[in-house]
Amino acid sequence: MKHIHYYIIGVCVILSMAACSSSRKAMKDESVASARSVWKAGECVVARANIALADASGKDIAVGGTLRMRRDDVIQLNATYILGIQIGTMEITRDSVLIVSRATRQYAAFDYQELSALLGRTITFEDMQNIFWGEAADFNVKGVRWKYNRFTELADGRKLPESMEVAFSKGSVTVKLVLNTSNHKQEDGWTTRTKFNATNYGRLTSNQIIRMLTLLMGG
């Protein structure tokens, strides 16, 4: 559990970098930028998740979890450890990105202007949504490589990502994240906002998050 908070923050930062890199590529690719989604606002999907992160040392950290999405509203990625104990949540809404590490009782919350400043690149909710709903394009841009390994087909013929992979490289060091999902269902009725008592958690600063990412990169 020692590096779980690095892991949770790293997942969010790496996915965010993938999202803004994908957005820049889509702007140059008219066929991607103009593609119409097959999903309607408010549609919900839930799936089991398996998240694996290989840090700079080559050590793999893998946890299970759940992925819940409500189109044009929220994306929740919950990580669980042994015996189903929840260790962290990444929640992406139209207004902000929230990261909660229940393992270390820490959290971070950013609106998109703050997140863009942290990453040095413009990022929006739509960028993140495109990644998770399978509407981004594979790319390799300035040290960030993104690809979908495979898709799953729902009963109605629409497809969702079943395995996606992103690698963030700096010099000779690479951190790789793989998100696998299964048992996709079109299901609502779940709580669309994460609840926790912020007074019992320490709020992480931008500098602390950068330091955590640096440690993941072996710095």
CATH (domain of 161): 2.50.20
Q: How high is the pLDDT of residue 36?
A: 64
Q: Give helix 206-216 / helix 4-28 axis angle, nearest 10°.
A: 90
Higher pLDDT pick, 104 / 67: 67
Q: How high is the pLDDT of residue 189?
A: 93
Q: How high is the pLDDT of residue 33?
A: 40
Tell me the average pLDDT across 141-170: 89
What one-character DSSP code corresponds to residue 81?
Answer: -
Higher pLDDT pick, 19 / 100: 100
Q: How many domains does the chain have?
A: 1
End-to-end CA distance of the chain: 20
Tell me the average pLDDT across 25-33: 48
Q: Which amino acid would we find at residue 149?
A: N
Q: Which amino acid would we find at residue 175?
A: V
Residue 132 · residue 75 · CB < 8 Å = yes
Question: Above pLDDT 90, what percent of the chain?
Answer: 38
Q: 157: domain range?
A: 4-216
Per-residue pLDDT at 19 exceeds 80 = no
In this prediction the pTM is: 0.86
Residue 76 · residue 88 · CB < 8 Å = no
3-state secondary structure of 216: helix
Residue 80 · residue 64 · CB < 8 Å = yes
* pLDDT one-digit tens code per residue, 160-213: 999 999 888 877 888 888 999 999 999 999 999 999 999 999 998 888 877 776
